[in-house]
A and B are shown apart, each in its own frame.
Chain A
Amino acid sequence: MPPFLQFVTRRFLAVPISLLVITMVLYGGVMLSPPEARATLYMPDNMPPRLTEEQYKKIEENIIRRYHLREPFPVQYYYWMKSLFDGKWGYSPSLNEYVLPSLLRRTPATLELAFYSLLLLVPLGLVSGVAAGWRRSGWFDRAFRGLAFLGTSTPPFILAIILLSIFYINRGWFAPGRLDLPYILEISEGNFISYTGFLTVDSVLNGRTDILGNALRHLAMPVFTLSIYHWATLGRVARVSVLGEEKKEYVIAAKARGVAERKVVWRHVFRNTLTPSLTSMTLSATSIVTGVFVSEIIYDINGISGVILEAMEGVPDAPAALGFAMYSVVMVLLLMFVLDVAQAILDPRVREGVLKT
């Protein structure tokens, strides 16, 4: 097997292990509650509207017996894991539907936001960090350090408040949500075919540039909010990994051979910074996903976090919360895997199997 594939499979095999550990911890958390509360995880959707207390107790007792909710942890954990494969993940009383379909339906909105943010912040962070670190204390480095300091010390939700109050309330250039109301109505009428769920892609496929423009107008603020903070953190790591690199032998050798400095930086030095930078991003993948949820909630985008928003005010909803937790773990693992693969593609040392990571 070529080293690249070896690397990717090894990383991919780590995913089920992580899932196993996390699900055990999660179910361990569920075990803190009594069996009667655990039974709500398996409640059917066709409950009759009016139930006497005895009837409800009977249903509850049935579920407890069927899913072995009074047995020790391993048994319960086994039955819960088995129930995850039914594609429902429990019935959520606050959403009035099964949790997994609801999560899947909301996924494209979340992915669209995350995708454009990463597309903006990863190249920008790497390039600006390398450029700043190469000419240490030059004008670009100083500007970069100032901006990065601002970026990391402004919490995203505060940036969101400022952006919303200037560009939405005061100027009206950008807006929260995903689309303007007329377009939402038009789409719900059914002339707009949803191929991918990404509004920006679907609008192009449907040949509607006006919807594309509108979707971008709504995406601008959340994408900016999300990118700025992580751009700054990524850029800083890239900058630090470039410092001192100009004294390394490979750089001196390349310069001595008469390679242009521009080429030395972007061909050789740049690639060496990829591994530490992307690794640091992998380690903070949860903070990126958390940032996506926060942006969604502040900017009123009905993504995955919409599942828990309704649960937070109203009927207690353990299935929705558990499903949300599971699903966000899957998203983080996916993001980590994508970053790992990107690193493998870009770093020749991983590709050739020299660097064992």
Chain B
Amino acid sequence: MKRLPPYFRRWQNWIGLLLVLTYVFLAVAAPYLSPDDPKKPGPFMRVGRAFEPAPLPPDEKAVLGMLPLGIDIYHALVWGSRDALRFGLIVTISTALFGVIYGAISGFTEGRVGGLMLRIADSFLAFPPIAGVVFLQQLFLATVSALGGFYYSGVIYSYSDTQIKATLIQSLLETINPLMLSLIVFSWMPYARLVHSIVITLKQTDFIQAARALGGSNFWIIRKHLLRNSTGPAMVLAARDVGGVVLLQATLTFIGIGGDSIWGEMLALGRNWILGPGGSILTYWWVFLPPTLAVMLFGIAWNLFGDGLSDLFINR
């Protein structure tokens, strides 16, 4: 019998892969699984009466029940996984790319400069992304109001007739949301540290010395040998991070600090019915359970997937 690749020797890794594939499937097939309302597209589709204050239990109109105001839970759940996957992948891929390149350069230069680069990376470890989100948002709001306007749910209004001129921060935050930006700026350090230490040990090995003896340029050695040998461990870290950043996004959305996780918003919308007076997670279980399970399983999926990758790349 042919031996399975190391990834498939533990059942946990199977579950991880299966869950990740499920989320990928949900994300890709969202338009088919739950078509948008053509008149009002968006993750929060109204299927019940618009002025229904109470969440309604599952029935034939809404398979998983409704949030307050007649919002379909199934629809938001499916589109939420598309959103979560996109967010997680964009953030981790950009942080990993930047961190790996930074770490490769700092490890390769070593000495004073490399040490200083590592010191700078360590300084970034002291900055909680939650503060970055708030900071960027407030800066943006202050900019809009200083230029004579105000911002309300995605649109900039002006007090006078004059058009508000676009500023640097405005164009930046319009293309990339503040949470994404602050997570990318403040979470690349683990990759840099990891790759830095890998590169330092690799530099002593014979094959790098050989590459050098061949007359290979620094850039060529970094690209061809050092980066290629550190992708495995970096991918393990990245896989675990995908879950982590999505959990953080949902958390910040739920507490109303920023971010626009659809799952987090679902919980925030139903909050009064599970935590308000007379609310209960047992009575209104369909408000609480679907988004909670979606968030938790997403985290578990990527963690198990990361463990599997580490079986594949690190402890083979």
Chain A residues near B (Cβ < 8 Å): 14, 17-18, 20-22, 25-26, 29-30, 32-34, 36-37, 39-40, 60, 152-158, 161-162, 164-166, 169-170, 283, 285-287, 289-290, 293-294, 297-298, 308-309, 311-313, 315-318, 320-322, 324-325, 328-329, 332-333, 336
Using A317-B141, A324-B131 as known contacts, list a sample of 15 further A-B pairs with CB atoms less than 8 Å apart, ordered by residue number in A.
A18-B126, A33-B146, A33-B167, A36-B146, A153-B303, A157-B254, A161-B267, A161-B292, A287-B128, A290-B128, A294-B130, A313-B256, A318-B142, A325-B135, A329-B127
Of B131, B144, B267, B296, chain A has the most CB atoms within 10 Å of the CB of B131
> How many Å lie between the Cα of A17 and that of B116 in the bound state?
11
The reply to whether A34 and B167 contact each other, CB–CB distance below 8 Å, is yes
Size bin of chain B's contact surface: 35 or more
Identify which of residues 196-220 in chain B touch chain A, using a CB-to-CB cut-off of 8 Å.
none
Q: Which B residues lie within 8 Å of A29 (CB)?
A: 135-136, 139
Partner of A170, one of B135, B167, B280: B280
Contact between A290 and B129 (Cβ–Cβ < 8 Å)? yes
Q: Is the CB of B128 within 8 A of A294?
A: no
B137 on interface, CB distance cutoff 8 Å: yes
Which of A21, A37, A162, A298: most chain B CB closer than 10 A?
A37
B169 within 8 A of A: yes
CB <8 Å contact, B251 and A286? no
Could you tell me the distance between the alpha carbons of A40 and B147 in the complex, rounded to whole angstroms?
Answer: 12
**Which single residue of chain B is at the shortest CB-CB distance from A40?**
B142
Given A18-B126, A294-B255, A298-B255, A321:B135 Cβ within 8 A: yes
Cβ-defined partner of B295 (8 Å) among A22, A32, A158, A162: A158
- A1 → B minimal CB distance (Å): 22
Bound CA–CA A169/B281 (angstroms): 10
Q: Is the CB of A318 within 8 A of B280?
A: no
Contacts of A33 in B (CB 8 A): 139-140, 142-143, 146, 167-169
Query: Which residues B95-150 have CB closer than 8 A to chain A?
Result: 119-120, 122-132, 134-147
> In the complex, A294 Cα to B256 Cα: how many Å?
10
CB distance from B125 to the nearest CB of A (A): 6
Q: Report the separation of the CA atoms of residues A283 and B251 in the bound assembly, to the nearest whole angstrom.
A: 21
Please tell me which one of the listed residues A37, A157, A333 contacts residue B146 in the complex, with CB atoms under 8 A apart.
A37
Give the Cβ gap from B254 to chain A, nearest Cβ, in Å.
5
A14 to B299, CA, bound (A): 34
- Asked if B274 is at the interface of the complex by the 8 Å CB criterion, the answer is yes
Q: Chain B: which residue is nearest A165 at the CB level?
A: B281
- 0/1 string, B286-310, CB within 8 A of A gives 1: 0010001001100110010000000
Q: Is the CB of B168 within 8 A of A161?
A: no
Which B residues are in CB contact (< 8 Å) with A153?
A: 296, 299-300, 303
Query: Counting CB contacts under 8 A, is B279 at the interface?
Result: yes
Q: When the two chains form their complex, are residues A157 and B126 in contact, meaning their CB atoms are under 8 A apart?
A: no
Look across to chain A and name the residue whose beta carbon is closest to the beta carbon of B295.
Answer: A155
Q: Which residue of B lies closest to A321 (CB)?
A: B138
Chain B residues near A322 (CB, 8 Å)?
135, 138
**Does B247 reach chain A (CB closer than 8 Å)?**
yes
Query: Residues of A contacting B132 with CB < 8 Å?
Result: 325
A155 proximity list for chain B (CB < 8 A): 247, 250-251, 295-296, 299
One of A161, A309, A329 near B126 (C-beta < 8 A): A329
